[in-house]
Amino acid sequence: MLVLGIETSCDETAVAVVRDGVEVLSNVITSMSSRYAELAGVIPEDAARNQLACMMPVLGAAMTSAGVQPSDLDVIAITRGPGLLGSLLVGTATARQLSVAWNVPLVGIHHTLGHLSSVWPDAQVPPQFPSLTLSVSGGHSDLWLRESHLKGKLIGRTRDDAVGEAFDKGASLLGLPYPGGPAIAKAAEKGDPFRYAFPAPLKDDDTLDFSFSGLKTALRYLLRDLNIQTVTQEQLPDIAASYQHALCAHLVDRVNRVLNAHPVTKEVHLVGGVSASLYLRALLQKSLAENHPGVIVRWPAQFPYCTDNAVMIASAAYFLLQERPEALVQPFATDAMASLHDVFSAV
């Protein structure tokens, strides 16, 4: 099944062609992130106008680089939400028109289902269920337990900030640029992750939820107690490394809690923008090897599949249609607020 995936939920315009959910024929993406990094935030109206201008060139590049014609496509898959409404509308309006013009059926995909599918493309060995997915980005920190692509539940989520947000806000306190995750990782390279102790959030609470706002506050207090107005180059590595460790250790702690309660879990999948963190990958791998040997840990095969992309949308559509073929003829709404509960129930 040849699927054209389109994703425009935030500031990116992404189009990909993927065969059978795993074989990536093309993956083209353009984003305004460097412009919004300077402005310290996305301007929704501006993002949508740019996506309108980028959509046809990106689509053309994806089709050409895959070497396919519209008549070769079996399905067009489009992110139906959640996201910025103007941006989503550029994608869904384009996809609806292409579907009619090319006579190719259309399926709407929940953005989160895309992230949950992102470890399948280019995987050397096919992932297996039951699996636990830790989905971490600037917008969410969620734990999903699944028995199949469409059967599963959300068993943990953040009670306040998402972990990516904690990286971004922490970076800003340290005088580092946006996005904070890569900036903190770079600053932490030669630092000691155990130099400064941070609290373990909700430690005595019998919960699978996360809480990151306290860690951000602890960083603020650390800077205050050290009497630091502006962090110097000598101080930065240890502070950045300790903060990065605290955020990642909290994520890893919850994964261990889930595996203790659900020992039949075969694999742990790390997805979303924060899954690009090499420190998090290494910490998770080490902890699972010690505490849950035999459980396979994996993350997206390529860095561009961690952040928002169209490959994961095309892949999700393939697996959705394997389990629920009727999804192909069901109409869908473009929904900026599409809830997490819709991930498996609606298409």
CB 281: neighbour CB atoms within 10 A? 16
In the complex, minimum distance from the CB of residue 91 to ligand KG4, in angstroms, rounded to a whole number: 15
User: Which of residues 73 and 166 has its CB atom nearest to ligand KG4 in the complex?
Assistant: 166
Interface pattern 254-293 for Zn ion (x via CB under 5 A): ----------------------------------------
Residue 119 interface partner, choices ligand KG4, Zn ion, none, CB cut-off 5-8 Å depending on type: none
Strands 131-136 and 267-271, bridge-based pairing: parallel
- C-alpha 236/C-alpha 252 separation (Å) is 24
Cis ω before 300 (30° cut-off from 0): no
The least CB distance from residue 316 to Zn ion, in Å, is 12
What Å distances lie between residue 194 and 110, 116, 190, 220, CA to CA?
39, 32, 12, 17
* Minimum distance, C-beta of residue 132 to ligand KG4, in the bound complex (Å): 19
> Per 3-state DSSP, what percentage of the chain is helix, strand, and coil (rounded to 5)?
45, 20, 35
Give the C-alpha separation, 43 to 302, whole Å.
Answer: 28
Among 308, 314, 316, 317, binds ligand KG4 (CB under 6 A): 308
**Residue 270 near ligand KG4 by CB under 6 A:** no
CA atoms within 13 A on the CB side of 70: 12
Using CB under 5 A as the binding rule, whether residue 308 contacts Zn ion is answered as yes
On whether the CB atoms of residues 187 and 240 are closer than 8 A, the answer is: yes
Which member of 81, 108, 170, 272 binds ligand KG4 (CB under 6 A)?
Answer: 272
Q: Cα 287–124–345 angle (5° rounding)?
A: 80
> Shortest distance, CB of residue 208 to ligand KG4, whole angstroms?
21
Task: Point out which span in 95-103, 175-183, 251-259, 339-347 binds ligand KG4 (CB under 6 A).
Answer: 175-183
Let me know if 72 is exposed, middle or buried by CB neighbors in 10 A (0-12, 13-18, 19+): middle
Asked if residue 145 lies in contact with residue 132, where contact means CB atoms within 8 angstroms, the answer is yes
Does residue 164 interact with ligand KG4 by CB under 6 A? yes
- Residue ranges in 137-156 that form contacts with ligand KG4 under rule CB under 6 A: 137-139
Residue range at the interface with ligand KG4 (CB under 6 A); choices 65-73, 134-142, 187-195, 335-343: 134-142
Output the smallest distance, CB 92 to ligand KG4, in A.
18
- Three-class DSSP category at 42: coil
Total interface residues for ligand KG4 by CB under 6 A: 18
Q: Which CB sits closer to ligand KG4, 214 or 273?
A: 273
* Contacts to Zn ion by CB under 5 A: 308
Q: For binding to ligand KG4 (CB under 6 A), which residues are involved? A: 137-139, 164, 167-168, 179-182, 185, 272-274, 276-277, 307-308
